[in-house]
Structures are given as structure tokens and as C-alpha cells.
Amino acid sequence: MVEEATNRAITALTDRRFDIASQVIESDAEIDSKEVLIEEECLKILALHQPVASDLRFVIAALKVNNDLERMGDQAVNIAERAAALARQPPLGIHLNVDRMADVVKQMVRSSLDAHVNLDTKLALSVCRMDDEVDELNREMFAVLQEHMRKDPEVSERAVQYLSASRDLERIADLATNIAEDVVFMVEGEVIRHRGGEIQADTQ
Amino acid sequence: MVEEATNRAITALTDRRFDIASQVIESDAEIDSKEVLIEEECLKILALHQPVASDLRFVIAALKVNNDLERMGDQAVNIAERAAALARQPPLGIHLNVDRMADVVKQMVRSSLDAHVNLDTKLALSVCRMDDEVDELNREMFAVLQEHMRKDPEVSERAVQYLSASRDLERIADLATNIAEDVVFMVEGEVIRHRGGEIQADTQ
């Protein structure tokens, strides 16, 4: 559901689809209630079965991924809100590299979930590496839009909407990275958060 | 540490203090390593002592609060980066309601942590209610800054920095709200996330 919400929010933004944006916003309540249910299930398992070792790590990772997915759903709603506002206004008329950023983010979301389901640490580490490109694309987007606002103050409102959407995409990439890190933790029992460049060096 | 980082980042922003901004950015690595340590402690407790009922909820809440605090630290770094950039440029010269927003956010952070330490659900629920004011102040900030960019394109770069900082403050308020919600869960065993308006009605 969260992957679908993310993909739809991106389509609403790139294709100026008010109707799809509305669907994303409506579907969030169901994601929220799923989060509460999954958390309750995890707590039941911890209380009744008292898992240890890799089973314990699996439940803890599920708790964290559950939380990250719900936050990702919230970011998709933010993007959909920006998309809905932008769809009602004239196109900005400049080239923005939204498509590339959207493609990388979609791939990160998909791969982080596949890595989680298949306990695939190699795929998980590839997600961590993709995050740098998204950060860079987000910085480029800020530079292009700021330059545009300076030249033509009339676009500032729409440009700020795009800045917000770009930042939300970057946050979704961060959350996919969190999920990928939790996959490595779950499989290998090793915390790779906050290790930055080391991840790249370790796996090449 | 995270509360101090947040307060310092706000001071760096409101008082244009490049030096304080740098301190916040430097101190984040220590917060990151504390997060990893605390998580490892929680997992050890779960594995070795297999707590149940309120003890289990306490450990799970600690895991989640730990995660939220680390994210709050990241947002403080973002604000410090914006503050550092703004301190090197001339003041924007318009009145922004940053002080009020900063005061409410600081109070929410403090109260959410006090509520956690003292298992004070009444204080926790007051944090949840304060979040609406921060959302409203963030919206106002966007409106004022957009209007200003339209009138004077020269300010757009600095205005975008303020927009980012305002959004980071709003995110810190959200994270304080998450912590407050986890306090209620920990004490009463009840999930109050995603209940929105109900919280207010229940407690008046």
C-alpha cells in the first residue's frame, strides 16, 4: 500500500493529475490503521513467544520497518498535496529533473521492500548507495528553482511547492535507506547506521 | 543532548550565530553513536530478561523514543546548517514569527522528555495538543515568505533557507508528538496515534 501510494503521488506530481493526488490523500487513513495493527501483532509475538536471537531481531526489524513505512506514507501524502496544488496552476515551464529523482526513489522503495521480504542484504546495501544520488538531485533541484525564482518572482509560489515535493522525495529515499539498514541488522545482527562511506568500501 | 542540540540550533537561527551552528553540527556524531548503544541495550534486555506487560511496553517505548530522538538530532543539524548559511548573509529585514514557533517547539521537546521520564500522560497529551499551533505557525511562515519572494526576488535564497528551517522546526514538533504518544502507550497500553481530534475531546 505504501509503495503504491508513493508511486501514485509521484505520478500525480509529474503528470499533473489532481484525481490521483486525491486518491493518495484518501488512502492514508487505511495505512495508518494498518500500522497500529502490525505494531500490536509484533508486541503480542514478543509477549507470548519471547523470541530470541534472529527471531527477536526479525520482530524488532518489523516494528521499525512498520514505523518507517507509515512515515513514508505521510511523505507521499505531502507530495500528493503539493501535486494537487500544482495541477490547478499553469505549468512552471522549465525543465526540472523530477523524473530522474522519482525513478531512483521508486527503485529504492521497491528494492528496500524486496530486500526485507527476501532477507537480501546485497540488495539492501545497494539501496544505501543510491541515497547519495537522491541527495545530489535534491540539491540540484534547489539550485535550479532558486535561480528561477530570482529571475521571475511570479513563479515563486509554484517553485516553493516543487521544493517541498523534492524534499519529500528525498525523505522517502532516507526512509527506504532506514529499511535497508534494518534488513542488514536483521540478517547479520550488525548495526550499519551512521557508518556513511564505510558501507561502500565494505562491499566493493 | 538532543534537547540541547535543538535549543542551540534555534539560538543559532534566531541570533544569527555561526559558531553555535557549528557546535550543533559537530555534536551530532555523538548523538548517533548513543542511539546505536541504547538500541543494543534494549535488545539485550529483551533477549536476556524477556519482559512482559508494562516492562515490555517500557522497553519498546524506549526503542521508539531513542529512534525519534536521533531523528530530532538530525533535524537540529538541518536547522543549524540553514542558520550557518543565513548568518553569513545580510538579515532578511522582515518580521518573521520564528520566536513564537521556536518557543512552542522547545516547550514540546522539553515536555515530551519530562513526560517520558516521569510517566506523565497528562503532560504527554498537552504536547499532542501543542502540535496544531506549530502546524499553523509553519503555514503562516510559508505565506509570509512567499509573499516576500514575490515582491523582492533578491531575497529568494534566504527566504528558502527560512522555509527549510521552519519545516524542520515543524518536524521536530512532530517527533516530540511521537514521543508523547509513546508515553501514553507505555503507561496506559493504548495506542493514540492517528486519532487526531479525539485526543482533545477525551481530555477536556
Residues 6+ positions from B156 with CB-CB distance below 8 Å? A146, A149, A150, A153, A156, B149
Q: Which of A58, A149, A157, A191 to mutate to test the interface with B (most CBs of B within 10 A)?
A: A149
B67/A67 Cβ within 8 A: yes
For the stretch A132-142, pLDDT in tens is 999 999 999 99
Q: For chain B, where are the alpha helices, taking DSSP H only? A: 2-14, 18-49, 53-87, 98-118, 121-151, 156-188, 198-202
Cell of B7: 535549543
pTM as predicted: 0.87
For the stretch B58-107, pLDDT in tens is 899 999 999 999 999 999 999 999 999 999 999 988 888 899 999 999 99
B157/A153 Cβ within 8 A: no
For the stretch A149-168, pLDDT in tens is 888 888 988 999 999 999 99
Q: What are phi and psi of B52, to 5 degrees?
A: -130, 170
Residue B143 forms contact with A (CB below 8 Å): no
Q: Provide the pLDDT for residue A204.
A: 35
Q: Which residues of B touch A142 (CB under 8 A)?
A: 160
Report CA Rg, chain A.
19
Q: Which of B50, B81, B190 to mutate to test the interface with A (most CBs of A within 10 A)?
A: B50
pLDDT surpasses 50 at A130: yes
ipTM for the predicted complex comes to 0.81
pLDDT surpasses 60 at A58: yes
Cα angle B105-B121-B53, degrees, rounded to a multiple of 5? 125
Residue B163 forms contact with A (CB below 8 Å): yes
Amino acid at A86: L
Q: How far apart are CA A44 and CA A37, in angstroms?
A: 11
Residues 6+ positions from B68 with CB-CB distance below 8 Å? B175, B178, B179, B182
Cell of B146: 512567499
Cell of B142: 510559508
* The CATH fold of domain B2-202: Methane Monooxygenase Hydroxylase; Chain G, domain 1 (1.20.58)
Half-sphere exposure in the Cβ direction for A111 (13 Å, CA): 23
A163/B156 Cβ within 8 A: no
For the stretch B136-172, pLDDT in tens is 999 999 999 988 888 888 898 899 999 999 999 999 9
**B120 Rama sector, left if φ>0, alpha if ψ -120 to 50, beta otherwise:** beta
Q: Which residues of B touch A27 (CB under 8 A)?
A: none
Residue A46 forms contact with B (CB below 8 Å): yes
Candidates A29, A39, A60; nearest CB to B43: A60
Nearest by Cα to A146 from B162, B93, B18:
B162
A47/B194 Cβ within 8 A: no
